Chain A
Amino acid sequence: MKSIVCMKRVPDSEARIEIGSDGRSLNTSGVKFVMNPFDEYALEQALLLKEQAGEGQVTAMTLGPDAARDTLRSALAMGADDAVLLRADPPPDGLVVARALADAIRGREFDLVLFGKQAIDDDNMQVPAMVAELLDLPCATVVTAFTLDGRLATAHREVEGGHEVVELALPAVIAAQKGLNKPRHPSVKGIMMAKKKPLDEVDVELAPSGIEVLDLSPPPIRPEPQIVGEGSEAVPELVRLLRDEAKVL
């Protein structure tokens, strides 16, 4: 069972976002970066499938700057066998990223390519399905359950109001959603072993971006907060405000 898990280095979800002095990028000073949380589910699934099969290979892959090496080391510590850094600054255009990943995946031997369903920085939610189309592979996105029977996979896709049950034959692409599994924490032994595992670094030339970032701005300011009162005695006033002032009841 050979899997390639594509991941991204992103600001932690608890990070405060400050806009840089150019007005178009993030001020990254003091920001903690982590493996994109959804990618942890993808990696865990690849590790589980390898364990179930009793043999195989899990390759962690990312497109990112030198610092994205840390993300790959985390993946190796969790149990990935090897890692590939496609060195480039991730552009705002998901298609450019998808093309670079597809080029790197093509020619490798694999049964499954796994992603997190979206990266929590640009929230594009487009690269997994694009890579599948570029490689001409079947694909299920937003996957919360995954089982394998020989070469036939069954996946649950989260949609509004429930889950679609889809079947697809390997090789395939899946994008993991929270709930798919419980990602493991790296053990001390895993962290020690990660340092000895192969980590390839390749400089990649990206196609020009089809999207230009004009500017970044902070979210709209919310109205001045108001404390209506304390305890159940304040409830009638709250309901009056919701009905007469906010007009939402």
Chain B
Amino acid sequence: MATVLVVAEARDGGVRPVSQEIVSAARGLAEALGADVEVIVLGPAGTEATVDGLGAAGADRILVAENGAFGVYAPDAAARAVADYAANGSCLAVLFAATAQGKDLSARCAARLGQSLATEVTQIAAEDGAIVVQRPVYAGKAYARLRMLASPALVSLRPNVFPVTDTPGRGVVEALELDPGSPRTRVVGFERGEREQIDVTEASIVVTGGRGMQSPDHWALLEDLVDALGPGATLGASRAVVDAGWRPHGEQVGQTGKVVSPGLYFAIGISGAIQHIAGMRTANVIVAVNRDAEAPIFGVANYGLVGDIFDVLPRLTEEIRAARGASG
């Protein structure tokens, strides 16, 4: 039977939640193509115990390849194993999450299989048996609709875009032997960020500070706001403050930083350069606080507040804390 193959992502001892989003997107595609959804999971011993959510998200078969060599992401080992499996002749499409790992792995697999890849896709459908995708280009200043001409089509899907569906009782788990070969790129360590926080691409709320914060010393005001917004919130930064060395580049939102689509985005002291707006315009709700009423950021904000950050931010933190406390 023809299959849509999902390459799930295991890290830090288990399957990451984003993999369920990809499986649910694969389910919709597979039904349109008359295919099954197969998921492949590479991980160390014990990974099989963490695959529960994948069946409910829509997988027919979950193939778990446990091997010490897959304990941390070894790029060439994973690429070899996945590409060898995907070359089985029944795959119509291979889907990845467009995460740090998924983007690296999908490109390697595409080269190994000699098949084209579409990255960071936000819509996927079958049209006349061919796979058609939509993806942002120019950091979201435009969207391209692409037809994938070869089979299998390789596609990475943007996190936080595809909803997870719930189909109880689905998903047979099977063990799979895959050969990791001899990896030549070895992961020898991991360094966590200075502040323990969620990555801007994965947070449900992002609070971004710009030049209008006036000094890196004033970031405590933004940290307080993030704390008040709860565990799904995180700090972002504009290009100007990253270039000034106020904030680490991993926090940068914009065309030369990260493109984010959170449920709620706060732009604090940000004027709204084109390259910044490109990086956050797909957020569901945008709030802007700026003392210049003419700042372009107000043109994309659902809610704008004109004012001085030292006047507005403490009150905003206090009121949000009260509102969240009241709603439980």
A residues contacting B by CB (< 8 A) are: 11, 13-17, 19, 26, 37-38, 92-96, 98, 120-134, 138-142, 144, 154, 156-169, 177-179, 209-220, 222-223, 225-232, 234-236, 238-239, 241-243, 246, 248-249
Chain A residues, Cβ within 8 Å of B301: 225-226
Q: Is there an interface contact between B192 and A162, defined as CB atoms closer than 8 Å?
A: yes
* Contact of A216 with B142 at beta-carbon distance under 8 Å, contacts A144-B249, A225-B302 already known: yes
Q: Which of B73-81, B170-178, B215-223 contacts A (4 or more CB under 8 A)?
A: B73-81
Known: A95-B110, A128-B107, A220-B282; 17 extra A-B contacts, CB below 8 A, are A93-B116, A95-B115, A122-B137, A124-B117, A140-B185, A158-B100, A162-B191, A162-B192, A164-B190, A169-B184, A211-B149, A219-B143, A228-B305, A229-B305, A231-B312, A235-B305, A235-B316
Interface residue? B299 (CB, 8 A):
yes
CA distance A131 to B248 in the complex (A): 29
Cross-chain contact of B303 among A14, A219, A242 (Cβ < 8 A)? A242
B residues contacting A by CB (< 8 A) are: 72-73, 75-76, 79, 99-101, 103-104, 106-108, 110-112, 114-120, 132, 136-150, 184-193, 198-199, 201-202, 205, 229, 242, 248-250, 252, 254-257, 263-264, 273-275, 278, 281-282, 284-287, 293, 298-308, 311-312, 314-316, 319-320, 323-324, 327
Q: Is there an interface contact between A178 and B249, defined as CB atoms closer than 8 Å?
A: yes
Q: List 8 A-B contacts (CB under 8 A).
A: A95-B117, A120-B138, A123-B138, A168-B186, A211-B148, A219-B281, A232-B312, A235-B305
Cross-chain contact of A231 among B112, B147, B242, B311 (Cβ < 8 A)? B311
Q: Is there an interface contact between B187 and A164, defined as CB atoms closer than 8 Å?
A: yes
Cross-chain contact of A159 among B101, B132, B285, B293 (Cβ < 8 A)? B101
Q: Is there an interface contact between B143 and A125, defined as CB atoms closer than 8 Å?
A: no
CA distance A21 to B305 in the complex (A): 38
Q: Is there an interface contact between A213 and B264, defined as CB atoms closer than 8 Å?
A: no
Chain B residues, Cβ within 8 Å of A95: 110-111, 114-117
Chain B residues, Cβ within 8 Å of A178: 242, 249, 252, 256-257
CA distance A220 to B123 in the complex (A): 13
Q: Is there an interface contact between A214 and B111, defined as CB atoms closer than 8 Å?
A: no
Q: Is there an interface contact between B281 and A126, defined as CB atoms closer than 8 Å?
A: no
- Shortest distance from the beta carbon of B314 to any chain A beta carbon, whole Å: 8
